[in-house]
Amino acid sequence: MTTDYTHGYAASGQTKEASQGKISKGLKKLLIISAIIIAAELIWLFGISPFIPFSTIDVHTFAGLEKTDVLGLAGIDDTSSFVSTNVIDIKEKLSSHILVESVMVIKRFPDKLTIYLTARQPAAVALTTINGLDQPKQALVYVDRQGVFFKAEDNSSAEIKMPVISGIENPQIHMRLPDALVPLTESLSSIAVSSPELLAAISEVRIERKAWEGFELVLYPVHSSIKVRVENNLTEDTLRFMLLMLNVFDSSSQKPEEIDFRSGMGSYRIRELSS
């Protein structure tokens, strides 16, 4: 009796081929389905979601400027989307607000928006005249490190904790100091952070125009009647030297009316008493 092994091998081969065919078809279907899913996700991600309204809008603002005011000024509403929002345009609109010093706008694909606002910080104050209902009255107007006058306050209720700048003709909100005087407000702002005790020793900084060109400063100390004249380059070293010299004259019976630091060294002249 002879066994037909060839027929068994053929049957086994056909079974393997059929199984491999089913696996191949299954893989093809799986690949097709995966491709469809990926294509749909890409269409949603790049073709649809950037056009739908933002799902998240974060606004980091400050007291005096609410989130609703920021969004209104920026022109952002319920229909704003990643595609329809122009970051440069928003920055320009928000930067136009007088209380805003700087703006940062970040769009995160596909539907998130974040706005960061930095408020102007006063470096000094100045006296101004505003038109009241009955008659003009004095008020304080604040100036920041960039030399921009940005906020007014009633003089009678304000507590002044920074130097008063004088010698400016009736400053008003939205006005800006001349470029030559911006270093002054920058210096006042920096010294207020690094050495606030030095600024606390000055009550007033008067700006005086030179005969030919430029400006110089006259400082009025809090605890002395002696004026101090400096160039338009106020520094911590100048203030420390000023206080040192003023301390020397505290116990003196003869005092100068003014100490001149414009040359870099403190010079003064004591008026002789008449006999």
* Mean pLDDT confidence for 212-236: 90
The pLDDT score that the predictor gives to residue 275 is 43
- Residue 274 pLDDT greater than 50, yes or no: no
> What domains can you pick out in the chain, each with its CATH number?
52-119 (3.10.20.310), 122-268 (3.40.50.10960)
The pTM is what?
A: 0.74
Amino acid in position 52: I
The pLDDT score that the predictor gives to residue 191 is 95
- Tell me, rounded to whole angstroms, the distance of Cα 242 from its chain centroid: 32
Q: Each residue of 174-189: pLDDT tens digit?
A: 999 999 999 999 999 9
User: In terms of pLDDT, which residue wins out, 233 or 217?
Assistant: 217
